[in-house]
Amino acid sequence: KPHGPVYAEFSLNNKQAKSMIRDGNLKYTYWTHDTDELYDLSQDPEELHNLARDPGHAADLKRLRQDLFAWHRPTGM
């Protein structure tokens, strides 16, 4: 069944902190000191092809990042 977004965070308040949102088939992960990650889990369930820098997914990245930061703004930003 479809459901709303799912949020998670890991290892807060240190250099390895990350936050994640999954909305439908899209999963966005923000690492405090590393590269953003965006995956379409319907096409890439093993998360092997990061779409964060793909211009065709720029709107998805922006939307998910805004939604994630509305829920939780990671420290170190």
- For 7-64, the pLDDT digits (tens) are 888 777 777 778 899 999 999 999 877 889 999 999 999 999 999 999 999 999 999 9
How sure is the predictor about 77, in pLDDT bands with cuts at 50, 70 and 90?
very low
Task: Show the DSSP H helices in 1-77 as ranges.
Answer: 58-71
* Tokens 């420290």 belong to residue: 75
* Tokens 């965070």 belong to residue: 9
Q: Which residues contact 65 (CB under 8 A, 6 or more apart)?
A: 28, 30, 36
